[in-house]
Structure 1
Amino acid sequence: MIKDFKLPDIGEGLHEAEVVTWFVDKGDAVKENENIAEVQTDKAVVEITSPYAGVIYERGGEEGASIKVGETLISIKTESEGMNDGEDEKDESNKKINSHSPSRRVKAAPTVRKLARQLGVTISEVTPTGRAGKITADDVRLHEKGNEAPNLSESHSEPIKGVRKKIFENMTHSMNEIPQCTGMDEVDVSRLSEFRSLLKNEVQNSTLTYLPFIVKAVALSLKQNPRFNGRVDKENMLFHYQTDIHIGIATATEDGLVVPVLKAADKLSVEEIANSIEDLSTRARAKKLRSDELSGSTFTISNTGRSGGFFATPIINPPEVAILGVHAIKRKPVVKDNEIQIGDVMGMSITFDHRVIDGEHCGQFMSSLEAYLEKPELFILKGG
């Protein structure tokens, strides 16, 4: 019997998903609960397992295809049912070959497997260099050439898919739809550096970086400047002020940037923020975040860290109306008490939707944020 496995709703409000990687091909034997595909939703990459044991009869689309919830993801000829004459013999043969062949467990896209067959390459002998031990087309070609050094003059390309495709679409929409303006300034964080050093040994289960303090300062500044925590309803020409403060933390992974969300950040202590950031970023890189942990942000922080420059022009993460970029901290001359001293100075950039936020609003927000970062004792007075 052929059973259709339809794409389930694997996240709140999910309508469709993109097939990023197939782990099985037509004719492959598959066990119950074995991984068959990796799909990309609006927020996360999710591995899909087979609900049946049997032989792959048909797939719902190739890699890069979009499949709607309720549509057939894959069809499986189950082992427990009888099969039809000639086609059955063919599938039984495929099942035996695929179950015992050493290439059965190889991770490679169907197009790569086809290339290997065309070039006469035994795919199980190819050394993988792709993500998660996956064999790429270049791996197959290099093996076919006898491990010769690649010709660097040859063009190299890779598909834009998965997380990178979502970034591609979101950033294009953001720049095409939103008139964006960026304000830049530098802030003296010398006292914050001292404050952080005093507290480092007091925080449990986390490395206390500057980011938790920045998140706390942003949360308090958003309460004072609620316009930056708003939403645009273009269809009804309304501007909505959000009552909750949920801060997205742009996090680099091997697939691209993802934005795990720190919920109710204004209600958390610096220590709680530090522990939450460490947990979210670790699971983001391991692709273990739930879809609800990647949605609902009202404001985003992009931290380029010490390896980045001093200023940048971060792109707004729709439907938000602003994004903060925080950058390298450098030892620079600063003026204190009418004297030139050496201090720790951080560059920051705030990009905002100029349809609903003016330059004056930007100045007020940055002044509020600078005050918290320059005088971290205000965290205790204002927010704990």
Structure 2
Amino acid sequence: MIYEFKLPDIGEGLHEAEIIRWLIREGDVVKADQPIAEIQTDKAMVEMTTPVAGKVVALAGPEGATVKVGEPLIVVETEAAVAAEAAPTDNSAQEPAPVLHKEAPRPARKRAIAAPSVRKRARELGVPIDDVEGTGEGGRVTLADLERYVREREAAAAVAEAARSEGNEAAVLPAGSAATGRQANAAAWTSIANVEAAFQEEERIPLRGLRKKIAEKMVKSVYTAPHVTGMDEVDVTKLVEIRKHLAGELAKEQIKLTYLPFMIKAVTRALKQYPMFNASLDEKTNEIVLKRRFHIGIATATKAGLVVPVIRDADQKSIRELAIEIAELSEKAHRQALRLDELQGSTFTITSTGAGGGWFATPIINYPEVAILGAHAIKRRPVVVGDEIVIRDMMGMSLTFDHRVIDGEPAGRFMRTVAYYLENPEVLLLDVR
């Protein structure tokens, strides 16, 4: 029996997904619930599994292809059919299997050992990683192996092209002429040198997977919502001292405490005072939708790109609880193991340029939200306090908002409210449960 496994709707508003990596090939026999492919949706990378067992007879397309919801991802000849095929038959006519993207049978070859980042780079270069000889520990394929493979492949192509060109010129020279051989060799080595130079001077990386989805979402945000960014600096001297003390206590429980839990508590308090910032705009009905729950998105940089895991009901959690959840989500984000529900439903987002980042930035709104807060580097700076110049710990802060929903004056008040709680973090400790 032929079974078509169609791409299901696995997320809110999902219409299509990109095939990042096939984990199977045509002709493979798979078990039920076996992983078959990694796909990239608008939200995250997802590992798909087959609901049935049997022989894979067709794939939806090559890596990088896009499959729409409801279209076949793979075609499987189920186990019953495979068993029937193996048994003696009466040579009666059989219904042919549908073909999506039929490839010529390929000989079995060993699967390369390589890190996910190396596999990703191989896909970007169009290199079949199983063909690359690994020089790393245990035969592991490295980035250097990929570059060597590409250089050798291009050099071989250059030699072949030079040989074809010289073959045409040889028609007007005596057979076996030494000049012919010298010219062919010179042309080949010149071509190889040109290939080496081109490989080092320019590199093209396909815009695929998570990077492509990020680009699409950022463009939609900027071209849909009129962005305005306000900037300020915050005296976080008290916060630095309190965090340092509490971090020592939580370290005994192997809990890492960053400044982010304090930022979340300050933001959720401000959002309750200014509910227009915890909202979205329904463009179809021309209604501003105020959200009654506070789900805070945390922009997280990973090797694959920026993801935004969500802390739900953040206002109901203590500093300690937030620290634990942030660490768990961050670890899963870097392993690309976040579930779809952990990436959906945020009502407001916090982003950061990190300790080594700049003093200010202009964050892009995590559409369809209406505002995003950027927290920037904390630096020791001279400031005026009263009539004296003193050294304080100062942090840059940026707020980008959708000017269709929010005006500059309330944006300024919202920022000062967040700043108040960060400048007086002892007030936030009243939320401890």
Q: Normalising to structure 2: TM-score of the pair?
A: 0.76
Looking at structure 2, the residues matched to 205 and 122 of structure 1 have their Cα atoms a distance apart, in angstroms, of: 40
Match for 1:225 among 271, 274, 294? Answer: 274
Q: Per-residue deviation at 1:140?
A: 3.6
Kindly indicate whether the alpha-carbon contact (under 8 Å) linking 2:132 and 2:146 is maintained by their aligned counterparts in 1: no
Looking at structure 2, the residues matched to 340 and 173 of structure 1 have their Cα atoms a distance apart, in angstroms, of: 45
Amino acid at match of 2:70: G
Residue 213 of structure 2 is aligned to residue 194 of structure 1: no
SS in 2 for 1:333: strand
Q: Per-residue deviation at 1:65?
A: 2.8
Task: Give the unaligned 5+ runs of structure 1.
Answer: none
Alpha-carbon spacing, 1:371–1:116, altered in 2? closer, same or farther (3 Å):
closer
Alignment partner, residue 329 of structure 1: 378
Kindly indicate whether the alpha-carbon contact (under 8 Å) linking 1:248 and 1:300 is maintained by their aligned counterparts in 2: yes
Looking at structure 2, the residues matched to 60 and 376 of structure 1 have their Cα atoms a distance apart, in angstroms, of: 54
Looking at structure 2, the residues matched to 122 and 373 of structure 1 have their Cα atoms a distance apart, in angstroms, of: 53
Residue 264 of structure 2 is aligned to residue 255 of structure 1: no
Amino acid at match of 1:222: L
How do residues 14-25 of structure 1 correspond to structure 2 at under 5 angstroms? 14-25=14-25
Looking at structure 1, the residues matched to 380 and 399 of structure 2 have their Cα atoms a distance apart, in angstroms, of: 22
SS in 2 for 1:82: helix
SS in 1 for 2:341: helix
Alignment partner, residue 81 of structure 1: 84
Aligned length: 370
Alpha-carbon spacing, 1:139–1:28, altered in 2? closer, same or farther (3 Å):
farther
Coordinate RMSD, CA, aligned: 3.5
Kindly indicate whether the alpha-carbon contact (under 8 Å) linking 2:43 and 2:340 is maintained by their aligned counterparts in 1: yes
Q: Per-residue deviation at 1:247?
A: 0.5
Kindly indicate whether the alpha-carbon contact (under 8 Å) linking 1:127 and 1:139 is maintained by their aligned counterparts in 2: no
More helix by share: 2
Alignment partner, residue 184 of structure 1: 231
Alignment partner, residue 155 of structure 1: 202
Kindly indicate whether the alpha-carbon contact (under 8 Å) linking 1:220 and 1:383 is maintained by their aligned counterparts in 2: no
Match for 1:125 among 122, 133, 142? Answer: 133
Looking at structure 2, the residues matched to 201 and 32 of structure 1 have their Cα atoms a distance apart, in angstroms, of: 48
Alpha-carbon spacing, 1:122–1:185, altered in 2? closer, same or farther (3 Å):
closer
Looking at structure 1, the residues matched to 302 and 112 of structure 2 have their Cα atoms a distance apart, in angstroms, of: 29
Amino acid at match of 2:68: K
Alignment partner, residue 72 of structure 1: 72
Alignment partner, residue 410 of structure 2: 361
Alpha-carbon spacing, 1:267–1:194, altered in 2? closer, same or farther (3 Å):
same
Alignment partner, residue 218 of structure 2: 171
Kindly indicate whether the alpha-carbon contact (under 8 Å) linking 2:113 and 2:141 is maintained by their aligned counterparts in 1: no
SS in 2 for 1:166: helix
Q: Per-residue deviation at 1:365?
A: 0.4
Looking at structure 2, the residues matched to 189 and 94 of structure 1 have their Cα atoms a distance apart, in angstroms, of: 64
Q: Per-residue deviation at 1:150?
A: 5.1
Match for 1:344 among 380, 393, 400? Answer: 393
Q: Per-residue deviation at 1:225?
A: 1.2
Alpha-carbon spacing, 1:38–1:260, altered in 2? closer, same or farther (3 Å):
same
Looking at structure 1, the residues matched to 333 and 126 of structure 2 have their Cα atoms a distance apart, in angstroms, of: 33
Amino acid at match of 1:251: T
Q: Per-residue deviation at 1:29?
A: 4.8
Q: For residues 185-227 of structure 1, what are the alpha-carbon distances to aligned partners after superposition, in whole Å with 9 as ceiling and x for unaligned?
A: 1101001111112212333442111111111111111111111
Alignment partner, residue 273 of structure 1: 322
Amino acid at match of 1:23: L
Kindly indicate whether the alpha-carbon contact (under 8 Å) linking 1:2 and 1:57 is maintained by their aligned counterparts in 2: no
SS in 2 for 1:196: helix
Amino acid at match of 2:346: S
Pick which of 199-208 and 175-184 moved more: 199-208
Kindly indicate whether the alpha-carbon contact (under 8 Å) linking 1:248 and 1:301 is maintained by their aligned counterparts in 2: yes
Amino acid at match of 2:40: Q
Q: Per-residue deviation at 1:360?
A: 0.4
Task: Give the unaligned 5+ runs of structure 2.
Answer: 157-192
Looking at structure 2, the residues matched to 138 and 165 of structure 1 have their Cα atoms a distance apart, in angstroms, of: 24
Pick which of 263-272 and 35-44 moved more: 35-44
Kindly indicate whether the alpha-carbon contact (under 8 Å) linking 1:24 and 1:37 is maintained by their aligned counterparts in 2: yes
Looking at structure 2, the residues matched to 105 and 329 of structure 1 have their Cα atoms a distance apart, in angstroms, of: 42
Q: For residues 144-184 of structure 1, what are the alpha-carbon distances to aligned partners after superposition, in whole Å with 9 as ceiling and x for unaligned?
A: 459x9953544311221221111011000011111101000
Amino acid at match of 1:141: V
Amino acid at match of 2:396: G
Looking at structure 2, the residues matched to 205 and 39 of structure 1 have their Cα atoms a distance apart, in angstroms, of: 34
Q: Per-residue deviation at 1:331?
A: 0.4
Amino acid at match of 1:312: A
Q: Normalising to structure 1: TM-score of the pair?
A: 0.85
Q: Per-residue deviation at 1:30?
A: 4.2
Alpha-carbon spacing, 1:336–1:22, altered in 2? closer, same or farther (3 Å):
same
Amino acid at match of 1:268: K
Pick which of 47-56 and 357-366 moved more: 47-56
Looking at structure 2, the residues matched to 94 and 260 of structure 1 have their Cα atoms a distance apart, in angstroms, of: 42
Alignment partner, residue 142 of structure 1: 151
Alpha-carbon spacing, 1:340–1:266, altered in 2? closer, same or farther (3 Å):
same
SS in 1 for 2:83: coil
Alignment partner, residue 300 of structure 1: 349
